[in-house]
Structure formats: structure tokens, C-alpha cells
Amino acid sequence: MIFGIDIMAGIVGWGAYIPKYRITAEEIAKVQHADADAIKEGLGLTEKSVPGKDEDTATISVAAAKNALARAGINKKEIGAVYVGSESHPYAVKPTSSIVGEALDIGNSYTALDTQFACKAGSATIQINAGLVDSGMVKYGLSVGADTSQAEPGNALEYSAAAGGAAFIIGTNKEAVATIDFTCSFTSDTPDFWRRALQPYPAHAGRFTGEPAYFKHVVGATKMILEKSKMQMTDFKYVVFHMPNGKFPLRAAKIFGVTKEQITPGLIVTKIGNTYSGSSILGLTCVLDIAKPGDKILVTSYGSGSGSDSFILTATEKIIEAQKKAKKTEDYVARKEYLSYPEYESHMEQIHK
């Protein structure tokens, strides 16, 4: 990838959305005849978000995008591109992005695309929009990453596969609440986690998903961006790594000497699980919700198959006002209603039917 230097683009508005339903690790462990404490300790998880019966990736995307629009305060008809990244698009063929464009009433003068690259389907669209804005092809681009992830009953992924999403309006540096200073990607063909077209649930390669997959790419992209930007970990107020569970991002943090203070604000996985295409970017919304002008942020996503997108952002003066204009990620985290396992199954069955 031609490394992004002097990109004249940034985040103009951001928004999160997390469904209110939750199921605890204990509830799932009861059904799996497993030791809940061992699972919680081993995976660094407590409970996960569950979509409502009439929620899906499209509705989550719209809700997050509305929050992003509220913060951006732009003329929505000037959105020239809409990209929605997910691994649980409601349709295999029929775009989610046009549903989002229509629901937001942005007119017809936009390009739209659905993307897929496991958990980094959303973060990659930020790069696309940054490029479009930087080249002057669009004034604003909407990037969304959202998922209502599927997990096979009885599988370990059941504890982590959650629902949620984040949206970003990308515009020029001048209007940004956070400038995108650098971005790069580390990609290889590494089949650690996959789902064939007509299969309901994904499969994964066990321990192979660790070192040769997640860590190789997250570390690879992060190293790359630090080298090219000539920055050090100590320069960042906040650091966000993709969160498939509560352990991997902490291990990545250890590798780079990232402190607890830097990593904890974005570590949303411990409260709501892994929202897949929403994961690292919801970590970003958590951080944008509290960042002060001048704060530098490093985000590295990860998508199985595999690749990582890394971003270096700087919060601007405009961020303070924008923070007040929509619900914070924390507000969605705090809003919860617990489900029993049969209720959870019924929710998942309903939306994936």
C-alpha cells in the first residue's frame, strides 16, 4: 500500500450503537456445562450484547450513522460515499449500504458498497473514504462497521460473538474532530477463521488464530505505522487493538509496552464481547468520546484471512463540542436487559432466519 502521508482527511463525526440485550457468560456456561469462572478468566469476558429481534446489521448501521451525523453537523446530502463493512450483512446479495443511505435520506448522489474482510471490513472503509476525500472526489464519506455475529451453539465463540457497530463521517482535515495523520495495512493470505457461503456458522483453526494470525498482523501493521510515522508508543494518549476477546489486545499491548492507562478506555470487549466489524472501531468511539484536543490515538484493527489496518489520529479543538451532540458509547454499554439462554437463541434465530 502506498503509505498515507499528508492525508488531508479526518473524522468529522462518529457514532456508536450497541443493542440493549445482554447474555452473561454464566448463562451460556450453564448450557455448555462449562466452568463459567474459568471461561471468564481465560477469555477476559463477562457478558455480550445480543441484537433485538428486529435489529440487524442494517438497523445497527443506521443508528450508529445517525449519531455520527449528529456529531458531524453537516448537510447529509453532501455525503458522496457510503460503505458498510460486516460479516453478517442481512443479504448475501442486496446491499446494506443503500439501506443506510436511504434511511438517512441522503439523496441519490452517492456511491455505495458493502465490504467484507472479517472483523476489519469497517476499518478498511475509513481508508477508502480518506482516499476519496483526499482526492477531492467526495466531500464527505460515511464508513460503517457493524455486525450481529453468528456463533454455533456449544462453541467457544458463543461467549464472545456480539452485536454492535460504529460509524464515521470522513471529511477534510479542516473540518475534522480528529485528523487521520497516517494509515497503513499489513495483509497476507492466512486462513485462520472463515465461513463458506451457505454455512450458518464460521469455523476457525484453533491455536492458529493466535500467533500466525492475530498477532502477526496486528503487530505487523502497528510496527509499520510506528516506523513510517517515526512515532513511539509513548506519544499516544490512547491505543486500541482489535478485541476478539479480553486477552489478545492485552498481549499485543504488552508486546509494545502500551500502558493500562492507554489501553483500558477502549477495551470495550470486557463489557459487551466482540462486535467483529464493530470491534476495534467501537474501541475508537469510546476513546473519541473522552479525548481532549491534541490527544493522539493509535488504532489497529484485525480481520481474519488476514489483515490489519492501522491509523494514527489527532483530536482537534472541534472534538469537545462534538462529544456532546450524541449518545456516548458508554451510554449504550450501560443500557442493558439480560436474557436467558432460550431467549437469546430465539433472538439469534429470528434475525438470522
Partner 1 sequence: MKVGVLGIGITKFGEIWDRGLRELLLDSQLRALNDAKLTPQEIDSLFTGNMCGDSLSGQLHVGAIAAENLNINKPSVRVEGACASGSLALRQGIAAIESGSAKIVMVNGVEKMTDVSTEQVTTALMGAGDEELEGFNGLTFPGLYSLLAKAYINEYGLSRETLAEVSVKNHFHGARNDYSQFKNELTVDDVIDATMVADPLTLMDCSPITDGAATIILANEEVAKKMNSEVYITGSGLATDTLSLARRKTLLKLQAGFDAREMAYAQAGINVKDVSFAEVHDCFSIAEIYAVEALGFAKQGKAGELYSSKQTYFDGKCPINTSGGLKACGHPVGATGIKQAIEATMQLRGTAGKRQVPNAKIGVTHNVGGSGATACVHVFKRK
- Interface ranges with partner 1 (CB under 8 A): 38, 205-208, 211-212
Is 119 catalytic? The answer is yes
Q: At what angle do helices 25-32 and 36-43 cross, to 10 degrees?
A: 120
Q: Are 285 and 17 in contact (CB under 8 A)?
A: no
Nearer to partner 1, 39 or 60 (CB): 39
| Least spacing, CB of residue 42 vs partner 1, in Å | 8
Residue 38: which residues within 8 A CB-CB, separation 6 or more?
A: none
Q: Is the dihedral of CA 280, 283, 284, 285 positive or negative?
A: positive
| 174 vs 207, beta carbon nearer partner 1 | 207
**DSSP class of 303:** B
Shortest spacing between CB 249 and partner 1, in angstroms: 21
Q: C-beta of 305: minimal distance to partner 1 in Å?
A: 16
Contact 323, 13 (CB under 8 A): no
Residue among 199, 196, 150, 135 nearest 50 (CA):
150
Which residue in the list 119, 217, 286, 347 is annotated as catalytic?
119
Report the residue number, 211 or 261, with the smaller CB distance to partner 1. 211
Q: Tell me the closest approach of the beta carbon of residue 212 to partner 1, in angstroms.
A: 4
Q: Which of 89, 217, 242, 347 is catalytic?
A: 242
Cell representation of residue 16: 456508536
Strand-strand pairing, 79-85 and 140-148: parallel
- Nearer Cβ to partner 1, position 38 or 320? 38
Complex with partner 1: residue 136 or 206, whichever CB lies closer: 206
- Taking the complex as a whole, the smallest distance from the CB of residue 306 to partner 1 amounts, in Å, to 13
C-alpha atoms less than 13 angstroms from C-alpha of 3 in its C-beta half-sphere: 12
| Catalytic-labelled residue, pool 27, 47, 55, 87 | 87
- Residue 204 appears among annotated catalytic residues: no
For residue 26, give the DSSP letter.
Answer: H
The alpha carbon torsion through 79, 97, 176, 136 (nearest 10 deg) reads: -50
Output the smallest distance, CB 154 to partner 1, in A: 13
Does residue 345 have an active-site annotation?
no
Q: Judged by CB, which is closer to partner 1: 34, or 103?
A: 34
Say what the alpha-carbon torsion angle 148, 16, 141, 313 is, to the nearest 10 degrees. -120
Say if strands 47-50 and 111-115 run parallel, antiparallel, or are unpaired.
unpaired
Pairing mode, strands 47-50 and 79-85: unpaired
> Annotated active-site positions, please?
87, 119, 242
